[in-house]
């Protein structure tokens, strides 16, 4: 994946309100050049960056606490969502502060060792995010398209194994990627931090990190919404003839489809945020971005891809009743009560009181 701050483009990502050109380390002849901005530009950029970081960290922390604390949310699907939330939380904690600082200051002030660690985390978390989304799509496919076999096939131990497999495969892939011939961390001047690689690796990364997984997810969600549409028509034709127990089963089926819709929105949002930067990174290997306007667009797409990590908690809060209720409980500090009220998934007109325990 072509990363923001690549040495061939890092100084071309010009912003408005440029004051002058200086050095990252004025007293060092080996220092990289930097662009100084007006004070109001720095203030605006750091405020916006801080808000995005806070939203990402605390939004995903809410998701993590919700799933860990509320026993009602201990389901295979939510374990996968928990894994994705951990990825996004680590992006906000370990990637965003350094990446935003690098963009705003046009310099890397954290040392060569931290540069390698930073890019390793960035590549690992990007890969882990994609693999988690693939497993989430597969889980929703089984829940909606094979509901009678779902509980037998999708168990907590198998889900935990999938989460472990997702992280392990991502780690092995990134270690191979970063240590392959032609891949290296570039620090050609003091204050530089970029990841360089051969064009072939960029194409391989585009195929295995984007094209293949998202082709699989597109096929799965297409099938999910086709089946959901067919179920909806069938439910509408019999809903007035069902008994209360049958109606409860129908509502549970609706809950599965709502969960699929929510997670489908999360996957679609990920694609929208990451597709432009993936495409531009591939094009860059063969057609260098020498036009300043295109470099500005490229830098903007890189920032959008990072901001995606802060959007998932918003999606859950808006579209998933249980998460929406759990967020409200935490914000009102009712989470410290022995008994908490939480909206039962799939029952939009019924609120139940349950005693919840911590893991």
| pLDDT, tens digit only, all 359 positions of the chain | 333 334 333 333 444 444 567 888 888 888 888 888 888 888 998 999 999 999 999 999 999 998 988 888 889 989 999 999 999 999 999 999 998 988 888 888 998 889 889 989 998 998 998 899 889 889 888 888 888 888 888 899 999 999 999 999 999 988 888 888 777 787 778 888 888 777 777 778 888 888 888 888 888 888 887 777 776 666 666 655 554 444 444 444 555 556 566 667 777 887 788 888 777 776 766 665 555 566 667 777 878 888 888 887 888 766 777 788 888 888 887 777 755 555 444 433 333 333 333 33
Phi, psi of 180 (to 5 degrees): -80, 165
pLDDT of 190 reads: 85
pLDDT of 92 reads: 92
Neighbours of 263 (CB within 10 A): 27
pLDDT of 89 reads: 95
CATH number of 18-314: 1.20.1070.10
| Locus of tokens 């699929």 | 260
pLDDT of 287 reads: 62
Return the closest-CA partner of residue 222 out of 268, 154, 273.
268
d(CA 333, CA 313) in angstroms, rounded, equals 19
Tokens in use for 247? 């109606």
pLDDT of 93 reads: 94
pLDDT of 151 reads: 85
Q: Return the HEC string of the chain.
A: CCCCCCCCCCCCCCCCCEEEEEECCCCCCCECEEEEECHHHHHHHHHHHHHHHHHHHHHHHHHHHHHHHCHHHCCHHHHHHHHHHHHHHHHHHHHHHHHHHHHHHCCCCCCHHHHHHHHHHHHHHHHHHHHHHHHHHHHHHHHHHCHHHHHHHCCHHHHHHHHHHHHHHHHHHHHHHHCCCCCEEECCCECCCEEECCHHHHHHHHHHHHHHHHHHHHHHHHHHHHHHHHHHHHHHHHHHHCCHHHHHHHHHHHHHHHHHHHHHHHHHHHHHHHHHHHHHHHHHHHCCCCCHHHHHHHHHHHHHHHHHHHCHHHHHHHHCHHHHHHHHHHHCCHHHCCEEEEECCCCCCCEEEEECCCC
pLDDT of 348 reads: 35
Model confidence, pTM: 0.79
pLDDT tens for 39-79 read 888 899 899 999 999 999 999 999 999 898 888 888 998 99
pLDDT of 249 reads: 47
Return the closest-CA partner of residue 84 out of 116, 125, 39, 118.
125
pLDDT of 14 reads: 43
pLDDT of 189 reads: 83
Where b means 16+ CB within 10 Å and e means fewer, 176-211 reads ebbeeeeeebbbebbbbbbbbbeeebbeebbeebbe
pLDDT of 8 reads: 38
pLDDT of 242 reads: 54
Provide the residue ranges of all domains of the chain, joining segments of one domain with +.
18-314
- If phi over 0 gives left and psi between -120 and 50 gives alpha, with beta otherwise, what is residue 17? left
């Amino acid at each position: 994946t072509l990363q923001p701050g690549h040495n061939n483009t890092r100084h071309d990502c010009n912003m408005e309100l440029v004051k002058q050109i200086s050095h990252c380390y004025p007293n060092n002849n080996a220092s990289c050049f930097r662009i100084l901005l007006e004070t109001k530009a720095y203030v605006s950029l750091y405020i916006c960056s801080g808000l995005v970081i806070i939203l990402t960290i605390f939004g995903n922390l809410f998701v993590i606490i919700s799933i860990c604390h509320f026993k009602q949310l201990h389901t295979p699907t939510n374990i996968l969502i928990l894994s994705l939330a951990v990825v996004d939380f680590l992006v906000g904690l370990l990637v965003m502060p350094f990446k935003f600082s690098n963009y705003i200051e046009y310099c890397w002030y954290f040392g060569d060792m931290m540069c390698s660690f930073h890019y390793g985390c960035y590549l690992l978390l990007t890969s882990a995010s994609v693999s988690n989304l693939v497993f989430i799509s597969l889980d929703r496919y089984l829940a909606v398209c094979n509901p009678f076999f779902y509980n037998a096939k999708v168990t907590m131990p198998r889900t935990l194994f999938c989460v472990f497999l997702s992280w392990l495969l991502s780690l092995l892939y990134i270690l191979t990627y970063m240590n392959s011939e032609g891949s290296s961390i570039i620090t050609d001047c003091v204050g530089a931090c970029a990841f360089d690689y051969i064009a072939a690796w960029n194409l391989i990364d585009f195929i295995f990190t984007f094209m293949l997984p998202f082709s699989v997810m597109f096929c799965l969600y297409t099938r999910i919404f086709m089946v959901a549409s067919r179920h909806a028509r069938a439910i509408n034709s019999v809903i007035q003839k069902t008994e209360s127990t049958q109606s409860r089963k129908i509502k549970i089926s609706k809950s599965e489809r709502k969960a699929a819709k929510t997670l489908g929105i999360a996957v679609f949002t990920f694609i929208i945020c990451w597709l432009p930067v993936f495409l531009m990174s591939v094009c860059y290997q063969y057609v260098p971005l020498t036009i300043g306007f295109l470099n500005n667009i490229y830098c903007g797409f890189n920032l959008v891809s990072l901001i995606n990590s802060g959007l998932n908690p918003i999606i859950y809060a808006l579209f998933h009743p249980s998460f929406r209720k759990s967020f409200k409980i935490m914000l009102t500090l009712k989470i410290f009560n022995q008994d908490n009220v939480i909206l039962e998934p799939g029952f939009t007109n019924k609120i139940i009181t349950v005693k919840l325990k911590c893991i």
